Structure 1
Amino acid sequence: MNHHINGVALPNEDGFFGEYGGQFIPPHLKQAMDEINTAYEEIRKTPAFQNELADLFTHYVGRPSPLFYAKRLSDQLGGAQIYLKREDLNHTGAHKINHCLGEALLAKYMGKTKVIAETGAGQHGVALATACALVGIPCEIHMGQVDIEKEHPNVVKMKILGAKLVAVTQGTATLKDAVDSAFEEYLKDPENYIYAIGSVVGPHPFPKMVRDFQSIIGNEIKVQAQDRFGAQPDYVVACVGGGSNAIGAFTAFLNDDAVKLVGVEPAGHGLNTDMHSATLTLGKPSQIHGMACYVLENEQGEPLPVHSIASGLDYPGVGPQHSFLKDIGRVEYSTATDQECLDAFITLSRVEGIVPALESSHAVAWAIREAPKMDKDIKIVVNLSGRGDKDADYVAGKLGLN
């Protein structure tokens, strides 16, 4: 796997992408993280691990996920041609299963007795509960009370799959608080527990590890684009919260400057309000959850309460590798508002018969906004990171479709 850019290793041995990443954690937790890193580096190179993961990707997840030409949408917009990388068709309905299988297998190979995680929209929770059921290891998911009420179908699925669900009521009772709560539980016994982070965030080695498991997305796009239209895409676009689906889509193209990479953050009610989660757009370098990255914070240096219509994107931090890619200008980070996201959700549903997750709808919104300004021979690949079943009732309520 090529994890260098301009000859620089990403991350370096200490888990830094430029000045971002690292391990800003207490010494006993550092020891546990270093053990995970060592085990991961040993295990991931073994044929047994690689073969088991590859087999599950094919026969369990259903990979490769298709690259679909959204012809009606492209024609309607009258500009660039839009293709959708259909991660929504994976087992469990999103890209999250890619790294959850990797993390659950790692836990099994390391002999851990419990997997602990946080979840926002519930996609990571469902995927991890699924992977843990598959490998036979107990799973505990921490989820904010606000998200539990908003994402009921995913909550029920996690329980059906046998996961223990912990409702988090502190703070804003959303994703950041779920992370804090899950970390507390993990610290009770880092020896026997493993914390399976749900994105390319947190202390080293998680930003690297989750990226490695997710990079299958971009690797597939590379082959499929060549197959479908005999060239590489002009643009690869993905939504960014913590940033796992985006880094998964981008990694294969980082050293191919002809391919423009665009990450789309939630502008919520607008960048001029305090109701958004546009971390890379309006945040500044700081620390959160054991890593250095861009953070949205107040004057006191505390993370701001953030907002997005998509539960999986309302996070005041962002993956350290994204922070680095912003600084070196390799990825353009743009935004889409809640309203643009809702419009994209309905448009894709009605024009292509594909109901996207609200998270992924941010990337679709960018394509809908920008494609008409481009020539017809330009190819945009949108990473459709998840499907919208979990959001259908919520959107129906918002639009009066109930």
Structure 2
Amino acid sequence: MDLHTYLRNFPDAQGRFGEYGGVYLPDELVPAFEEITEAYQTIAHSAQFINELRRIRKQFQGRPTPVYHCERLSRHLGTSQIYLKREDLNHTGAHKLNHCMGEGLLAKYMGKKRIIAETGAGQHGVALATAAAFFGLECEIHMGAVDIAKQAPNVTRMKILGAKVVPVTHGLQSLKEAVDSAFESYLNSYQDSIYCIGSVVGPHPFPQMVRDFQMCIGVEAREQFLEMTGLLPDAVCACVGGGSNSMGMFTAFLGDPLDIYGVEPLGKGPRLGDHSASITYGRKGVLHGFESIMLQDEDGNPGPVHSVASGLDYPSVGPEHAYLHDIGRVNYVTATDEEAVDAFFKLSRYEGIIPALESSHAIAYAMKWARENRGGAILVNCSGRGDKDVDYVVEHYGYGEDHQFPA
């Protein structure tokens, strides 16, 4: 696959990646998204916009984030080596700020006064509240009541930054319902607002726009790994919910001769309602204005979902992920709640890095890969830090007493 040709052709003019993507919206919202598309396409190649975004990333976000060799964890597992792209060191503690600062800059360019969004684990909400404070915009964040309880530290951070946090109390009170609520609010105020989607999902141009803003992860990581080792890794992996951190990581490596793994949350098992592994167990459907692979009940409605990680419990996945799965370029695998929690404790104890539960799914798969392969290296996107998760983990899993940490 030639990367430049791929990026030029996907998405196409209709915002589709093969048979996925597109725009499925109420008639009254179509002009609003056409306005966003035109504005993004105008500034995406503007030297002024790109230079300002580069300045923000360097001086405000602290980019580039480093690549780190997990020497002790690797030695514990065998002869293969695990490396982390440290997005947990990005300002606000996760990859989300990469696209939020881009979306905030776009909102200023369009003359909007307010940004509206949903959040699951709260990292997107914190990042967008940060961008709103930076650019002097109003900010409204919709969050499921279940996630508000699980992610209290992030709710506090959003409010300190000046955001209005809207609790969502219908349905399963998690990420899907938060998206529903945010869309409804945007429908009533799109003239002076912009909806800032938190992943590579939603109607065109958001899957493309968020991917492009997140691509700095993989571009940096590829260059850094080559500088560290003189080689490319044998494999690259990242967790996949909606799929923003993973598309940011994967895109730069699509043209390279290596394996790419997207790790979905298997939760408590394969039964519908016990997991959020959309590609592994879903089928084609339309949700939140785009067509992709999604978990569905017998009537074709979005299926119930579960994950120990609030940022992964979404019943669909970005359309570009669905396309990359279909053409066989990316391998989509799974990790359970228990495997993710084990990786959470192992990385904490062996490396002194407390990862987000979302990132722990990718680390869990990397640990499995390292056990099964002799030699070689796998590069993992550590998409966020685990500060937001520590209270929940301790309440439900203790301090790691049940996990083995051989010397």
Q: Structure 1 residues 93 and 50 mapped into 2: Cα distance closer, same or farther (>3 Å)?
A: same
Contact 1:279-1:316 at 8 Å conserved across structures: yes
Match of 1:364 in 2: 363
Match of 1:310 in 2: 309
The whole-number CA distance in structure 2 between the counterparts of 1:176 and 1:143 is: 9
Q: Secondary structure at the match of 1:317?
A: coil
The whole-number CA distance in structure 1 between the counterparts of 2:287 and 2:85 is: 31
The alpha carbon displacement at 1:3 in A equals: 5.5
Contact 2:200-2:208 at 8 Å conserved across structures: yes
Match of 1:384 in 2: 382
Residue 105 of structure 2 aligns with an amino acid whose one-letter code is: L
The whole-number CA distance in structure 2 between the counterparts of 1:2 and 1:364 is: 26
Match of 1:197 in 2: 197
Match of 2:102 in 1: 102
The alpha carbon displacement at 1:113 in A equals: 1.2
Match of 1:374 in 2: 373
1:100-249 to structure 2, matched below 5 A, reads 100-249=100-249
Contact 1:3-1:10 at 8 Å conserved across structures: no
Q: Secondary structure at the match of 2:79?
A: coil
1:142-191 CA distance string (max 9 Å, x none) = 00000001100000000000001100001111000000000000001222
Match of 2:285 in 1: 286
- TM-score, scaled to structure 1: 0.97
Contact 2:125-2:141 at 8 Å conserved across structures: yes
The whole-number CA distance in structure 2 between the counterparts of 1:8 and 1:92 is: 32
Q: Structure 1 residues 121 and 49 mapped into 2: Cα distance closer, same or farther (>3 Å)?
A: same
The alpha carbon displacement at 1:274 in A equals: 3.2
The whole-number CA distance in structure 1 between the counterparts of 2:249 and 2:151 is: 25
The whole-number CA distance in structure 1 between the counterparts of 2:273 and 2:173 is: 18
Q: Secondary structure at the match of 1:92?
A: coil
1:22-57 CA distance string (max 9 Å, x none) = 001122212111110110011122222111110011
Contact 1:84-1:381 at 8 Å conserved across structures: yes
1:270 aligns with 2:269: yes
Moved more, 132-141 or 37-46: 37-46
Match of 2:330 in 1: 331
1:288-328 CA distance string (max 9 Å, x none) = 11000000001111101100000000000100000000000
The whole-number CA distance in structure 2 between the counterparts of 1:306 and 1:272 is: 10
Match of 1:398 in 2: 396
Residue 80 of structure 2 aligns with an amino acid whose one-letter code is: A
Contact 2:86-2:383 at 8 Å conserved across structures: yes
The whole-number CA distance in structure 2 between the counterparts of 1:189 and 1:244 is: 26
Unaligned runs of 5+ in 1: none
Match of 2:354 in 1: 355
Q: Secondary structure at the match of 2:202?
A: coil
The alpha carbon displacement at 1:2 in A equals: 4.5
Moved more, 353-362 or 45-54: 45-54
1:33-52 to structure 2, matched below 5 A, reads 33-52=33-52
Residue 102 of structure 1 aligns with an amino acid whose one-letter code is: G
Residue 351 of structure 2 aligns with an amino acid whose one-letter code is: E
The whole-number CA distance in structure 1 between the counterparts of 2:5 and 2:114 is: 34
The whole-number CA distance in structure 1 between the counterparts of 2:292 and 2:8 is: 18
The alpha carbon displacement at 1:273 in A equals: 5.7
The whole-number CA distance in structure 2 between the counterparts of 1:8 and 1:63 is: 26
Contact 1:275-1:307 at 8 Å conserved across structures: yes
Residue 265 of structure 1 aligns with an amino acid whose one-letter code is: E
Q: Secondary structure at the match of 2:140?
A: strand
The whole-number CA distance in structure 1 between the counterparts of 2:288 and 2:276 is: 16
The whole-number CA distance in structure 2 between the counterparts of 1:273 and 1:285 is: 16
Contact 2:356-2:389 at 8 Å conserved across structures: yes
> Over aligned residues, Cα RMSD in angstroms?
1.3
Q: Secondary structure at the match of 2:378?
A: strand
The whole-number CA distance in structure 1 between the counterparts of 2:121 and 2:397 is: 20
1:18-97 to structure 2, matched below 5 A, reads 18-97=18-97
Give % identity.
Answer: 58
Contact 1:238-1:245 at 8 Å conserved across structures: yes
The alpha carbon displacement at 1:4 in A equals: 3.7
Residue 293 of structure 1 aligns with an amino acid whose one-letter code is: S
Q: Secondary structure at the match of 1:176?
A: helix
The alpha carbon displacement at 1:399 in A equals: 1.9
Contact 2:272-2:303 at 8 Å conserved across structures: no
The alpha carbon displacement at 1:349 in A equals: 0.1
Match of 1:296 in 2: 295
The alpha carbon displacement at 1:239 in A equals: 0.1
The whole-number CA distance in structure 1 between the counterparts of 2:84 and 2:190 is: 40
- TM-score, scaled to structure 2: 0.96
Residue 334 of structure 1 aligns with an amino acid whose one-letter code is: V
